[in-house]
Structure 1
Amino acid sequence: MKTSPRSGQSGPQDQPRELVEMSWDPITRIVGSLGIYCKVDFKNREVAECYSTSSIFRGYSIFMKGKDPRDAHFITSRICGICGDNHATCSVYAQNMAYGARPPALGEWILNCGEAAEYMFDHNIYQENLVGVDYCEKMVRETNPGVLAKAERTEAPHAADHGYKTIADIMRSLNPLEGEFYREALAVSRTTREMFCLMEGRHVHPSTLYPGGVGTVATVQLFTDYLSRLMRYVEFMKRVVPMHDDLFDFFYDALPGYEEVGRRRVLLGCWGSFQDPEHCDFTYENMASWGKRMFVTPGVIVDGRLVTDDLVDINLGIRILLGSSYYDDWQGQEPFVTHDPLGNPVDIRHPWNQHTIPRPQKRDFTDKYSWVMSPRWFDGKDMLALDTGGGPIARLWSTALSGKVDIGYVRATGHSVEINLPKTATKPEKTFEWKIPERNGELMSNALERNRARTYFQAYAAACALYFAEQGLAEVRAGRTQTWTPFTVPEEAISCGFTEAVRGVLSHHMVIRNGKIANYHPYPPTPWNASVRDVNGVPGPYEDAVQNTPIFEENSPENFKGIDIMRTVRSFDPCLPCGVHMYLGDGKELRKLHSPHAASTL
């Protein structure tokens, strides 16, 4: 963290403000290339300005050109060592559309089981072992000792469910390496990783996932092994959901006004997840129909209202703006795609038509300052800076409002999502209900609710996985054991794949010419969330959520840790590899000559 005072800036009502420049670079606990640069107004206890930066550039969209389309999922899986399987899945979806391939039902149930396990694995390890540290006893002691004192005196309302008597006991259980729950969550992550490997062969880069289906050998034993682990996870979630409800509700009570930390306008995007093989044929012409039958319903939510749940509309609305990022514009270049397969016009700023033209330069917060571009969604009037809220809050909100999912284990009501977990070894059947968050009559998309949704979505993914495993077992027992269907690669095609990476919206856009990839652009959640000020001056979601966020930390400016800022950014589950891509061009040879008289260095 760096600080340097600045004074004389104007703030609200043009009152003089004394601003202190502060930076956290890196701010993430995974992959340290995200920097957050702020101006903090300590007199008024709020953040005045925020800039989100990324210091690395990669170039998958460049070196994918000319490749065999069948290699796309193997290559794009390496975009990230955390959500690589989500990229592989999305790429396979795009390839299925391009090749006209429709996997057998069993292949889709296996893939759904694998992706559900990935959600359970990643959300668990992030919630308890990474973002959970921001709420642990050691962190709260250092930043808000008054809050910790209150936590010691506050009994946990659901102590009978999770076993921790006070809120302070919950906080102690989250202490890194020492806390009981911290260590338990690490052990659970091993179980969920095993579940994934049963279905897709290898974590995090699947070895049995292909266009047209999967290479997994489907047996009763396969699903039994998966279910035995899944039921242990289901029992675990019956403790986790009430524990986190107690913790997050306490922060609202202990710090009145804390709902404003990380709050921004409700602008949420969800591209849907978990295909229903009965309805999904992967054709673009039918995408609007089969997209609505996904077990996580796609949708764009503006100010709490569902604007669309149509994947064709979602696809055509995507715009890639540059603004404050280190690239040259491609406006004026010949488009790869002028119309989609339904005859709708395709904008030059759509990913199908994007050119990646890097232009490295010195960082300048008045001009260009990051390698992350600025995806926006055009609603016909405005370029909306959608966020994913880290993934789960957008998924649950969209699914709840659409009201389309009803498979027994989960049900969307139009205003909430019900999650029904069956009896497990030591715990009875349990129903949880995630409700669209409100406080004082206002909808809430803030740090605490993003984190709360992450917990509920773990339970949602587990409930869906029970259904997927049962459907897969039914296919095997009926003798329908085919998991893959053959296909041919066309000479010309345009296609797209839509799913949800762990952290939110993920789309892959591909153009094939002469049997090779002519253009390929993956758009994961990170560029949406970490985007920078666009050509219209609109800040990205990290920036927007941090700006104007109040400061509740008790430390003086000299000892300021920025915990409220950190909680805001980390509530989005930031992970920068997907936001920027490496490109080395033709490369060059470097030689370092050593003098025998020079001092030895290591």
Structure 2
Amino acid sequence: MTQIIPRPSQHPNDPGTLVEMAWDPITRIVGSLGIYTKIDFENREVVECHSTSSIFRGYSIFMRGKDPRDAHFITSRICGICGDNHATCSCYAQNMAYGVKPPHLGEWIVNLGEAAEYMFDHNIFQENLVGVDFCEKMVAETNPGVLARAEKTLAPHSEAHGYRTIADIMRALNPFTGEFYREALQVSRYTREMFCLMEGRHVHPSTLYPGGVGTVATVQLMTDYMTRLMRYVEFMKKTVPMHDDLFDFFYEALPGYEQVGLRRTLLGCWGSFQDPEFCNFRYRDMEDWGRKMFVTPGVVVDGKLVTTSLIDINLGLRILLGSSYYDDWTDQEMFVSRDPLGNPVDRRHPWNQHTNPHPHKRDLEDKYSWVMSPRWFDGKDHLALDTGGGPLARLWTTALAGLVDIGYVKATGHSVRINLPKTALKGPVEFEWKIPQFGSNTIERDRARTYFQAYAAACALHFAEKALTEIRAGRTKTWEKFEVPDEGIGCGFTEAVRGVLSHHMVIRDGKIANYHPYPPTPWNASPRDSFGTPGPYEDAVQGQPIFEENDRENFKGIDIMRTVRSFDPCLPCGVHMYLGDGKTLKTLHSPTQALTGE
């Protein structure tokens, strides 16, 4: 349950004018994220924000000494939401370490599975979790004036989605009773089925391995996938224009709303969907095959694309501490001093990281979170990149790079065009996501999520066609054998649903010597680092205006919640147990043991 704790602040320059308010835990997600703010109600502004996580992630500790071949099975359990993204990324890292290249069909199947995951997860989060922030019931509680205006505002694209007014859209988003809310739940069911067709089960794949997949690929399998995919394509033809109408209305109804959640445009995307025609998983070729991915990797700084090289991205990774509950590792072993190309690898790189938990009492002026602070070093500054919730960064980098052109999707250098073919009820439709004029803010992070759902569906159409070509040609092999080396390193890069995901592994004596997964959670939810730079949640919330109509006593914090949820916060990637000090946790395995204590 959200706790709101108001009390006057002892602000040195203006005592008593700031009110401290906390939302801990943030609702509608796994409950370990807390947002602590100081608000100036007179000037309607959030003055300060701290993001905390109350749980420790320790996979990097207990992965040591494990058989490398188990890495994807273990790390998929990092998260009960995007576990398949972890399994996929781990397999990518293992492919590099083992020197194995999966058969083409195996990679197309992995792509189809990941596309289904994007469709499933973005749908359920956008419509059944984020959508609640914009539904009739929520707007009536927080901005009744906006709802009154919505009742009188015709939806510009009503012929595409079927809702006459903006208020009708808001009613359709009401939880449990709204028409669109309920429809989205059905969509989540069959998109999950799509994933299971490709990778066995959701969310922990049973047929995904380094070297490929164990899925038996047949024409019937692809037909079963495609029948569901075309239903999803039909769904997106009304979802995109519906959300455009809703989000555009908020800009019109609340002048200045573009400032909500706005931060400097610092976006990271590690790329997604390998092209097996080019990808061999060799580090030396990573820059080339990375640029052939169907979502282009890259870093965007102040709206400009500064690199599309996965080698640059890899070498720029830095793990900082500062406000985190850990001791530093500056006097501990370095596992990798140079990459396979001879480039120096920094001590603060994931290959060289050590995890030294040191619990503290929460102190917002010192240590206050279990999340570390990943940063990307551009040679001058340690940049607090965010993922834009995943889709904003993916579409922005892909659009600027202009490298993707597969018919169904095309990057133009300033936009991404998405072509959806004829379906049962509608003819062909083209959508175009354009780089937002307002930059990276709350509304645009949410809007990009809708467009990327359509993008993932369009890519899946291409992948299915490629897979069918392989099957019909008799090239049905889906897995390539490999051997685990005694010594080796690997790194995997992909996009989890919420954004950047990397896995770094060091093998010694045939066992894992060091392993560090970095999902979107630490990038977005990081606290202030050792340079005092706030993390993206903190940075996006503090300084933003407040448009809620409620007074201080009845304040819901809806604009703050919309901003945090626009990043698609997902804290399971921080849920792990560490006892420390040589303590052992004993589990009773049977009713007899429970009764006898044996």
TM over 0.5: yes
**1-structure distance, mates of 2:526, 2:81:** 20
Q: Distance in 1 between matches of 2:586 and 2:536?
A: 40
Query: Cα deviation per residue 1:570-589 (whole Å; 9 max; x = unaligned)?
Result: 00000111145432344446
Q: Does 1:497 align with 2:492?
A: yes
Q: What per-residue deviation string (whole Å, max 9, x for no partner) do you get for residues 518-575 of structure 1? A: 0000000000000000001000000000000100000010000000000000000001
Distance of 1:584 and 1:118 partners within structure 2? 33
Counterpart residue number, 2:517: 522
For 1:285, what is the secondary structure of its paired residue? helix
Letter in 2 for 1:435: K
User: Which residue in 2 is equivalent to 1:290?
Assistant: 289
Partner of 2:594: none
Q: Deviations over 1:322-343 (max 9, x none)?
A: 0000000001212000000000
* Letter of the structure 2 residue corresponding to residue 479 of structure 1: G
Q: 2:325 is aligned with what amino acid?
A: Y
Q: Tell me the secondary structure at the aligned position of residue 39 of structure 2.
A: strand
The one-letter code of the counterpart of 2:417 is E
1:166-181 to 2 correspondences below 5 Å: 166-181=165-180
Aligned-partner residue type, residue 427 of structure 2: P
Unaligned runs of 5+ in 1: 592-602
- Quote the residue 1:83 is aligned against: 82
Aligned counterpart, 1:6:
8
Q: Output the amino acid matched with 1:109.
A: W
Structure 1: how far apart are the matches of 2:313 and 2:55?
Answer: 29
* TM-score normalized by the length of structure 2: 0.96
1:176-204 per-residue CA deviation (whole Å, 9 max, x = no partner) reads 00100000000000010000000000000
What aligned pairs does 1:34-73 form with structure 2 within 5 A after superposition?
34-73=33-72
Among residues 465, 471, 475, which one is paired with 1:470 in the alignment? 465
Q: Which residue of 1 aligns with 2:184?
A: 185
Q: Are 1:562 and 2:564 an aligned pair? A: no
Cα distance in 1 for partners of 2:23, 2:89 equals 32
Q: Which residue of 1 aligns with 2:354?
A: 355
Shift of 1:502: 0.1
Counterpart pick for 1:541 among 536, 540, 544: 536
Structure-2 separation of matches of 1:518 and 1:590: 26
Q: How many residues align?
A: 584
Q: Per-residue displacement from partner, 1:399-428 (whole Å, max 9, x unpaired)?
A: 000000000000000000000000000101
Q: In structure 2, the residue corresponding to 1:438 is in which secondary structure?
A: coil
Counterpart mapping for 1:24-39 below 5 A: 24-39=23-38
Alignment partner of 2:529: what SS?
Answer: coil
Which residues of 2 match residues 110-259 of structure 1 at below 5 A?
110-259=109-258
Letter in 2 for 1:515: G
What SS class does the counterpart of residue 300 from structure 1 fall into? strand
Contact 2:57 2:573 (8 Å CA) reproduced: no
Q: Is the 8 A contact 2:51 2:527 kept in 1?
A: yes
TM-score, normalised relative to structure 1: 0.96
Q: Tell me the CA shift for residue 15 of structure 1.
A: 6.0
- For residue 3 of structure 1, give the secondary structure of its aligned residue in structure 2: coil
The answer to whether the Cα contact below 8 Å between 2:101 and 2:281 also exists between their aligned partners in 1 is yes
> What's the CA shift for 1:234?
0.1
Q: Residues 279-326 of structure 1: CA distance to partner in whole angstroms, max 9, x if unpaired? A: 000000000000000000000000001010000000000000000000
Q: Which SS does the other structure have where 1:125 is aligned?
A: helix
Corresponding letter in the other structure for 2:132:
V
What SS does the corresponding residue of 2:133 show, helix, strand or coil? Answer: helix
**What residue in structure 2 maps to residue 262 of structure 1?**
261
Do 1:60 and 1:583's aligned partners in 2 also have CA atoms closer than 8 Å? no
| Pair 1:580–1:533, CA change in 2 (3 A) | farther
- AA paired with 1:438? Q
| Corresponding letter in the other structure for 1:569 | V
Evaluate the alpha carbon distance shift between residue 334 and residue 16 of structure 1 in structure 2; reply closer, same or farther with a 3 A threshold. Answer: same
2:336–2:352 Cα contact (<8 Å) kept: yes
> Is residue 476 of structure 2 the alignment partner of residue 481 of structure 1?
yes
Rounded to whole Å, the distance in 2 between the matches of 1:537 and 1:157 is 45
8 Å Cα contact 1:339/1:345 also seen in 2 = yes
Q: Name 2:449's counterpart in structure 1.
A: 454
Distance in 1, matches of 2:80 and 2:5, equals 33
Contact map agreement 1:28 1:575 (CA 8 A) in 2: no
Q: Equivalents in 2 of 1:523, 1:134: separation in Å? A: 29
User: What SS class does the counterpart of residue 8 from structure 2 fall into?
Assistant: strand
Where does 1:410-421 land on structure 2 (aligned, <5 Å)? Answer: 410-421=409-420
SS at 1:4 equivalent: coil
- Equivalent position of 1:513 in the other structure: 508
SS at match of 1:288: helix
- After TM superposition, give the deviation of residue 6 of structure 1 in Å: 2.1
**Matched residue type, 1:39:** K
Measured in 1, the distance between the counterparts of 2:99 and 2:11 equals 59
Amino acid at match of 2:331: G
Instruction: State the alpha-carbon separation in 2 of the partners of residues 16 and 431 from structure 1.
Output: 55
1:8, CA displacement in angstroms? 5.3
Give the partner amino acid of 2:458.
A
Report if aligned partners of 1:269, 1:386 keep a CA contact under 8 Å in 2.
Answer: yes
Aligned partners of 2:296 and 2:308 also within 8 Å: yes
One-letter code of the match for 2:508?
A: R
For residue 396 of structure 1, what is the aligned residue in structure 2? 395
Distance 2:145 2:584 in 1: 57
Amino acid at match of 2:346: D
Q: Deviations over 1:22-70 (max 9, x none)?
A: 0001114121000000001000100010000000113100000000000
- Stretches of structure 2 that go unaligned for 5 or more consecutive residues are 588-598
**Contact 1:402–1:414 at 8 Å: present in 2 too?**
yes
Q: Distance in 2 between matches of 1:58 and 1:97?
A: 25
Distance 1:214-1:7 versus aligned 2 partners, 3 A rule: closer
Residue by residue over 1:444-499, the C-alpha shift from the partner in whole angstroms, topping out at 9 and shown as x without a partner, is 10000000000000000000000000000000000000000000000000110000
Q: In the alignment, which residue of structure 2 is the partner of 1:379?
A: 378
Alignment-mate amino acid for residue 243 of structure 1: M
d(CA) in 2 for partners of 1:395 and 1:57?
A: 28
For 1:365, the equivalent position in structure 2 comes to 364
